[in-house]
Amino acid sequence: MRALDEVLSLLEDPHRLYADAPEGIKLMLTQAVFERLWIMDSDVAGAELSEPVAELLTLEASWP
């Protein structure tokens, strides 16, 4: 439970986590969240979430 709490605490402010991370860690964070990203003219045109992230968001949406 302690390890899970520590991981979840990292997600309290994901924007700050990403912004403060070194380049190599940013890549790993991106790969952990997204299965695919479609880029057009330097903008994200679409995204496919990784399976664990998609499942977590589905569970969150079903909470009362």
Going residue by residue through the chain (64 aa), what tens digit of pLDDT does each one get?
788 777 777 778 889 999 999 999 999 999 989 999 999 999 999 999 999 888 888 888 888 7
Domain boundaries, the chain: 2-62
Output the furthest CA–CA distance in the chain (Å, rounded): 43
pLDDT of residue 44: 94
Q: What does the DSSP 8-state code read for residue 14? A: H
pLDDT of residue 61: 84
In sequence order, what are the residues at sequence separation of 6 or more whose Cβ sits closer than 8 angstroms to the Cβ of residue 25? none
